[in-house]
């Protein structure tokens, strides 16, 4: 086998690997979005200085955060809807690649400060509306 043939085989295998990875990302994103609206966001956990880019899903049970590059369809972080409170956008200047003019909001629960989220302003209003609406099944028999 010549060097040229070996190079062609390696390049073809590399292209197939890239195509398979892109297909996996597309299928994963569709499965994540099947259970609720998703948006691009970044999360910063308490005590950590770095923002991590990911997908935020507004599900019936709570807010779920997924890593952009993972393969699982389960959220890495899940904040229950019943106990969740969000702050108004903070004045902090946030710079996250991939997000256009993001605003930072804090998530609070019964245990205190849970995390900070960086989302685009339209997404903030969506999350605020989702949180203030009644959770599914709560208060359905109110007279």
For the chain, the structural domain boundaries read 35-132
* 38 C-beta neighbours (distance < 10 Å), count: 20
Q: pLDDT digit string (tens) for 48-73?
A: 999 999 999 998 888 999 998 888 88
CATH topology of domain 35-132: PH-domain like (2.30.29)
Q: Residues 123, 41: contact at Cβ < 8 Å? A: yes
- pTM reported for the whole predicted model: 0.81
Q: pLDDT digit string (tens) for 1-12?
A: 899 999 999 999
pLDDT at 142: 45
Closest CA to 127 of 75, 90, 84: 84
pLDDT at 134: 63
Q: pLDDT digit string (tens) for 88-139?
A: 998 778 888 888 889 999 999 888 999 999 999 999 999 999 988 866 566 5
User: Around 63, how many Cα atoms within 13 Å sit in the side-chain half-sphere?
Assistant: 30
pLDDT at 133: 83
- The 3-class secondary structure across 62-110, one letter per residue, is EEEEEECCCCCCCCCEEEECCCCEECCCECCCCCCCCCCCEEEEEEEEC
pLDDT at 132: 86
pLDDT at 39: 93
């Amino acid at each position: 086998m010549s060097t040229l043939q070996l190079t062609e085989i390696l390049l073809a295998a590399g292209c197939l690997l890239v195509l398979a990875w892109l297909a996996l990302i597309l299928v994963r994103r569709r499965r994540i979005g099947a259970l609720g609206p998703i948006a691009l966001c970044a999360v910063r956990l308490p005590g950590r200085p770095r923002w991590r880019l990911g997908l935020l899903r507004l599900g019936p049970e709570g807010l779920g955060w997924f890593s952009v590059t993972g393969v699982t369809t389960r959220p890495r972080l899940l904040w229950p809807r019943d106990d969740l409170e969000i702050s108004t956008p903070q004045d902090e200047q946030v710079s996250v690649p991939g997000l256009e003019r993001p605003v930072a909001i804090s998530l609070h629960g019964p245990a205190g400060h849970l995390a900070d989220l960086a989302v685009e302003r339209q997404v903030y209003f969506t999350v605020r509306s989702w949180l203030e609406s009644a959770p599914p099944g709560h208060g359905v028999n109110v007279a």
